[in-house]
C-alpha cells in the first residue's frame, strides 16, 4: 500500500523551510558585482587630459575663425590685425628650432673634447695609466 508522507507543519514557501526559494537572510552584496564608488569614477588625470584636448581644439578653432573670417564683418574690428595669424606661428616655429639647437649645443658643450681621456674613462674606472703603474 502506498504510504504517503505526513503533512508538514511548515509551509513550503516559509523562510523556515530548508528548501524554500526565498532565503530568510538576504545575501550580502558581492564586491565583484557592485563596483565601488572610487572604481566607478573616472581618473582625474583622464578628466584633465580630456579638458586640455578639448580646450586646445576649441582654441585652434577660434584661431582659424579669426584668421579666415572676412574683414568685411564689422564685429571683428576689435580683433588683432590679420598679419598676426602668420607672424605668431612663424615666431613659435623659430622659438622651437632655437630651443632644439640650443639644447644640442649645450650637450656638445658639456661633453669632453675628442682628445681628452675623460671621454674614455671615469673616476670609477679600474683600467688606466695610473692603475697600470700600481699593478706593476
CA 11 – CA 17 distance, rounded (Å)? 7
CA 61 – CA 69 distance, rounded (Å)? 12
Segments making up each domain of the chain, as ranges: 39-78, 80-129
CA-based torsion, 104, 106, 110, 113: positive or negative: positive
Q: How far from the centroid of its chain's Cα atoms is residue 14's Cα?
A: 55
| Residue pair 17/11 in contact by the 8 Å Cβ criterion | yes
Q: Phi first, then psi: give them for residue 3, nearest 5 degrees.
A: -100, 135
CA 79 – CA 40 distance, rounded (Å)? 44
CA 92 – CA 65 distance, rounded (Å)? 19
Query: Which is more confidently placed, 72 or 28?
Result: 72
**What are the C-alpha distances in Å from 67 to residues 57, 71, 79, 83, 96?**
15, 10, 10, 9, 22
Query: Which is more confidently placed, 75 or 43?
Result: 43
Query: Which is more confidently placed, 132 or 52?
Result: 52
pTM of the predicted structure, to 2 decimals:
0.45
SS3 66: helix
* Most confident region among 10-14, 43-47, 94-98, 113-117 by mean pLDDT: 94-98
pLDDT tens digit sequence for 13-50: 666 666 666 655 565 666 555 555 566 778 889 999 99
CA 134 – CA 125 distance, rounded (Å)? 14
Amino acid at each position: 500500500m502506498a504510504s504517503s508522507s505526513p503533512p508538514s507543519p511548515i509551509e513550503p514557501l516559509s523562510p523556515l523551510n530548508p528548501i524554500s526559494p526565498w532565503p530568510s537572510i538576504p545575501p550580502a552584496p558581492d564586491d565583484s558585482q557592485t563596483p565601488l564608488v572610487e572604481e566607478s569614477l573616472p581618473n582625474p588625470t583622464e578628466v584633465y587630459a580630456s579638458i586640455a584636448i578639448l580646450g586646445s581644439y576649441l582654441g585652434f578653432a577660434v584661431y582659424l575663425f579669426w584668421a579666415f573670417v572676412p574683414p568685411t564683418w564689422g564685429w571683428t574690428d576689435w580683433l588683432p590685425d590679420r598679419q598676426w595669424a602668420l607672424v605668431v606661428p612663424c615666431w613659435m616655429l623659430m622659438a622651437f628650432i632655437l630651443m632644439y639647437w640650443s639644447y644640442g649645443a649645450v650637450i656638445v658643450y658639456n661633453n669632453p673634447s675628442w682628445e681628452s681621456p675623460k671621454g674614455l674613462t671615469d673616476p670609477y674606472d679600474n683600467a688606466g695609466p695610473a692603475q697600470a703603474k700600481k699593478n706593476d
